Every structure is written in structure tokens, then in C-alpha cells.
């Protein structure tokens, strides 16, 4: 059955928005525009490549775009983190996400038609939220979301392997739209929303090497705005004092005094 042109248009727009958000998120983690674009292209092209790892007793494959590249980026972010505390938070976030997703998979129904939302979205959004709460920063949240999902897949693989149950495990099998990618993007979006909102409510961010350029510019705007308001208030006060002096009599008394 042919899809209507309207539905095709909506899908195309949705994909463009999806990858546009992804590139902005990568920019926020101090990747250059070129690096972010190359990474996204790698994810898209890598979505068509599955690397077979083993076939007996479990058929295991790893998707290049949906798992391998995001995992490599997350590991790179860990090693390039400025502080040890951020690395620790990223690892803790990954463990929390892995535990939550694995436990959820034990109790939630496997069939998508029995759930109110697609399982990939449920796991991705849940993992992203947990990753932010545990990681607290954009980079730690992304690391926790990506590595947490991959760790949960590995735990699932070990479980069925030890039980001797034949099956298939495809880590990152959905490619660019896998839970791994969704979790990483959602985690950073939450960190972005909460972090910037809090910083704006508190009067601007504390400047430092970990602060994105956008927040730095916002802080400068706040400082300039505050200085302009103070100068305007000083000018108004000076004019008021001048008018008061002009309205006084030579003996220093006001016009209404007798």
C-alpha cells in the first residue's frame, strides 16, 4: 500500500528535526560542528551495518550506528572529562540506567501492542531521565543514557547465555532510532532544559571551562542589562535632585513654607 504524500512529508520533517536536535546536543558537549555532523552521518550509515559476534547458543550482533559509535563517543567523553567527579557520576548513571532498564524488561510486556507507548520510547525516555538525575551534567547524562542501555543488553545476553536459552540479541539493532540513541538524546535534552532554566532563574551561570558559549553570552547580556539599569537609575536620581534644588527659595526654604 502506498503512503500518502502528507505522511511521507511528516516523516521527512520528523527525521530532520530529530537529527537537528542531535547535532545541537553534540555541539553542547564541546564537539565541533564538523565532528557532530560526521558523527551523525556515521550513525546513519552505520545503521545498515551489523557486526556478528557469535551465533551459538545465542545469535549476537552489534549495530555500528546504533551501538558501536555511540559507545565509542561515550567512552571518549569519559576520558576527556575535566573532573574525576564527572567521570564517577557518568559511571554511576550508567549503572543505575542499566539496572532500571533490565528490571523494567522483566516486568513490562514484550509485545508493543500491549503497551501504551512504543517500548523503545519508554525505555529511552526513562533511561534519559535516570541518566540526568544521576549524572547531573550534559556529558554525564549522555554517557549514562548510552552506556546504561548497552550494559542492560549485555546483562540480558549473559542471563540467557548462562541459562542455555537459544535466542537473538541485537545491540543497537534499530540503528539511528535505537533505544541507545534515544536515551542519550533525551538525557542531554533534560539536562539542557533543567540546567539552563535553573541558571537563568539564578541570574546567570557561573562561568568556567565547562559552560557552553550560549550560556556565557547570556551571562554577559545579564551583566550589561544590570549595568544599564543602574546607570538609568542614577541619571533619574540626579535629575530629581536638580529639580528639587531649582524649586527651593534663596533662603533654602521650599515655596510652600511660610
Residue-level pLDDT at 124:
77
Asked if residue 147 belongs to a domain, the reply is: yes
Does 252 reside within a domain? no
Whether residue 215 is predicted with pLDDT greater than 60 in this model: the reply is no
End-to-end Cα spacing for the chain = 98
Rg from Cα positions in the chain: 27
Q: Which of 22, 30, 25 is nearest to 216 (CA)?
A: 30
Q: Is residue 219 part of a domain?
A: no
DSSP character string of 88-136: HHHHHHHHHHHHHHHHHHHHS-S-GGGSSS-HHHHHHHHHHHHHHHHH-
- The pTM of the full predicted model, rounded to 2 decimals, is 0.67
What's the domain range around 113?
A: 16-206
- Segment of 13-17, 41-45, 218-222, 239-243 carrying the highest mean pLDDT: 41-45
Report if residue 241 sits inside a domain: no
**Per-residue pLDDT for 63 more than 60?**
yes
Residue 96 lies in a domain: yes
In a domain, 136, yes or no: yes
Q: Is 221 within a domain?
A: no
| Tally of domains within the chain | 1
pLDDT tier for residue 161 given thresholds of 50, 70 and 90: confident
How are strands ordered across the β-sheet holding 50-54?
A: 50-54, 58-63, 167-171
Comparison of pLDDT for 71 and 19, the residue scoring more: 71
20 versus 68: the higher-pLDDT residue is 68
The Cα–Cα gap between 27 and 6 comes to 32
CA distance 52 to 63: 9
pLDDT at residue 72, rounded to an integer: 92
Question: Would you say residue 94 lies in a domain?
Answer: yes
Question: Is the pLDDT at 86 greater than 50, yes or no?
Answer: yes
Amino acid at each position: 500500500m502506498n503512503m500518502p504524500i502528507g505522511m511521507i512529508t511528516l516523516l521527512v520533517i520528523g527525521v530532520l528535526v530529530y537529527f537537528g536536535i542531535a547535532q545541537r546536543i553534540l555541539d553542547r558537549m564541546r564537539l565541533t560542528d564538523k565532528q557532530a555532523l560526521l558523527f551523525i552521518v556515521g550513525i546513519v550509515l552505520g545503521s545498515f551495518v551489523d557486526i556478528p559476534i557469535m551465533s551459538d547458543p545465542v545469535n549476537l550482533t552489534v549495530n555500528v550506528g546504533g551501538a558501536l559509535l555511540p559507545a565509542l563517543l561515550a567512552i571518549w567523553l569519559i576520558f576527556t572529562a575535566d573532573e574525576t567527579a564527572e567521570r564517577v557520576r557518568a559511571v554511576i548513571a550508567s549503572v543505575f540506567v542499566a539496572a532500571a532498564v533490565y528490571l523494567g524488561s522483566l516486568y513490562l510486556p514484550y509485545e508493543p501492542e500491549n503497551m501504551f507507548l512504543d517500548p523503545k520510547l519508554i525505555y529511552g525516555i526513562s533511561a534519559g531521565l535516570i541518566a540526568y538525575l544521576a549524572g547531573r551534567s550534559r556529558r554525564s547524562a549522555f554517557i549514562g543514557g548510552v552506556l546504561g542501555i548497552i550494559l542492560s543488553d549485555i546483562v540480558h545476553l549473559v542471563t540467557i547465555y548462562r541459562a542455555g536459552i537459544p535466542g537473538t540479541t541485537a545491540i543497537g539493532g534499530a540503528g539511528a532510532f535505537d533505544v541507545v540513541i534515544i536515551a542519550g538524546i533525551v538525557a542531554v535534552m533534560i539536562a539542557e532544559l533543567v540546567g539552563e532554566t535553573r541558571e537563568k532563574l539564578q541570574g546567570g551561570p557561573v562561568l568556567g571551562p565547562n559552560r557552553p558559549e550560549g550560556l556565557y553570552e547570556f551571562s554577559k547580556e545579564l551583566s550589561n542589562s544590570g549595568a544599564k539599569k543602574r546607570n538609568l537609575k542614577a541619571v533619574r536620581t540626579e535629575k530629581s535632585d536638580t529639580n528639587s534644588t531649582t524649586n527651593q527659595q534663596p533662603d533654602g526654604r521650599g515655596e510652600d513654607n511660610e
